[in-house]
């Protein structure tokens, strides 16, 4: 069930459970997403709301990874997929893992890198970006927020994908990267606070002067979704 919907430029943001929303969506060019890994990443970090970090709450969203049938649906509804945390999920063998090197000092407890499963026809690639400077020093809105530069780098592997779906949108980082690269975006988020943060970030991204710096050459007018 769609609890709320916002259309911002070429982005459609949906508040709801993607397990219920996906069957009504039809096909998209690519799924670029960062699902719950099932490692309780939010636990103890605190939920980040519009009012700031609430370190008393315990997020439940990372308790379990998506089901096999969810991944089957994502692979069926799109030509291309880039799925962060792919090393945690039951996905087919692939030649191209994308690796985010967080450029962190040696640590026994913290991950120094994260991996995305893809069906991209490329050898494995590495992106180096300090995890601390997630958005070039800008505010962090979600406990497991990805840098938008990382998601923009991912989109570079999908030059012909016009409409990108992120069914686990969080604070909307994939959408921000889509705005900056002139792609259409559909995002779904189950948590109302993160949905609202995503709406604000995407609105803000459209107001930035560096938008459309790398818009793919396809000026043909098509229906939005
Ligand atoms: C790893 S986080 C994504 C973080 C995001 N990449 C960012 O930069 O902000 C996964 C998100 O999926 C959301 N989520 C979990 N289950 C969901 C579901 N069934 N439908 C939609 N969203 C869901 C969680 O609330 C969480 O915000």
pLDDT value for 137:
55
Q: Partners of 58 in the beta sheet?
A: none
- From CA 198, how far away is CA 74, in angstroms rounded? 21
State the pLDDT at residue 152.
Answer: 98
Q: How confident is the model at residue 59, as a pLDDT?
A: 58
In a domain, residue 220? The reply is no
Q: What is the pLDDT of residue 132?
A: 56
Per-residue pLDDT of the chain (225 residues; tens, 9 = 90+): 999 999 999 999 999 999 999 999 999 999 999 999 987 665 544 445 554 444 334 456 666 899 999 999 999 999 999 999 999 999 999 999 999 999 988 877 888 999 999 999 999 999 999 875 545 555 789 999 999 999 999 999 999 999 999 999 999 999 999 999 999 999 999 999 999 999 999 999 999 866 544 444 443 333 344
Q: First CA to last CA across the chain, in angstroms? A: 18
In a domain, 218, yes or no: no
11-16, strands of its sheet edge to edge: 2-8, 11-16, 184-189, 163-166, 28-33, 78-84, 113-118, 97-101, 125-128
Compute, in angstroms, the gap from residue 190 CA to the centroid of ligand 1: 7
Q: Which burial class, exposed, middle or buried, applies to 97 when counting CB atoms under 10 A from its CB (0-12, 13-18, 19+)?
A: middle
Domain with 24 in it: what CATH number?
A: 3.40.50.150
Site to substitute for ligand 1 among 15, 154, 168, 173, most atoms within 8 A of C-beta: 168
- Residue 219 located in a structural domain: no
For 163-222, what is each residue's pLDDT tens digit? 999 999 999 999 999 999 999 999 999 999 999 999 999 999 999 866 544 444 443 333
**Is residue 27 in a domain?**
yes
Pocket of ligand 1 (CB under 6 A): 17-19, 34-36, 61, 142, 144-146, 167-168, 170-171, 173, 188-191, 194
Instruction: Note down the domain range covering 34.
Output: 2-207
From CA 214, how far away is CA 116, in angstroms rounded?
23
- In the reported structure, the alpha carbon of residue 215 is separated from the centroid of ligand 1 by a whole-number distance in angstroms of 27
Tell me 45's DSSP state.
Answer: T
């Amino acid at each position: 069930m769609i609890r709320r919907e916002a259309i911002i430029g070429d982005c459609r943001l949906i508040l709801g459970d993607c397990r219920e929303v996906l069957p009504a969506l039809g096909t998209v060019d690519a799924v670029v997403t960062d699902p719950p890994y099932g490692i309780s990443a939010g636990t103890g970090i605190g939920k980040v709301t519009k009012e700031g970090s609430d370190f008393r709450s315990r997020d439940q969203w990372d308790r379990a990874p998506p089901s096999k049938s969810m991944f089957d649906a994502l692979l069926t509804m799109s030509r291309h997929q880039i799925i962060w945390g792919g090393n945690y999920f039951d996905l087919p063998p692939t030649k191209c893992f994308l690796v985010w090197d967080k450029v962190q000092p040696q640590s026994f407890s913290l991950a120094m890198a994260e991996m995305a499963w893809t069906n991209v026809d490329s050898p494995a690639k590495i992106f180096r970006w300090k995890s601390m400077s997630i958005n070039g020093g800008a505010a962090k809105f979600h406990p497991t927020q990805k840098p938008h530069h990382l998601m923009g780098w991912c989109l570079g592997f999908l030059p012909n994908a016009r409409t990108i779906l992120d069914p686990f949108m969080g604070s909307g980082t994939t959408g921000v990267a889509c705005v900056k690269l002139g792609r259409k975006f559909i995002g779904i988020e189950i948590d109302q606070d993160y949905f609202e943060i995503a709406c604000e970030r995407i609105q803000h991204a459209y107001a930035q002067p560096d938008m459309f710096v790398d818009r793919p050459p396809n000026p043909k007018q098509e229906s939005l979704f």
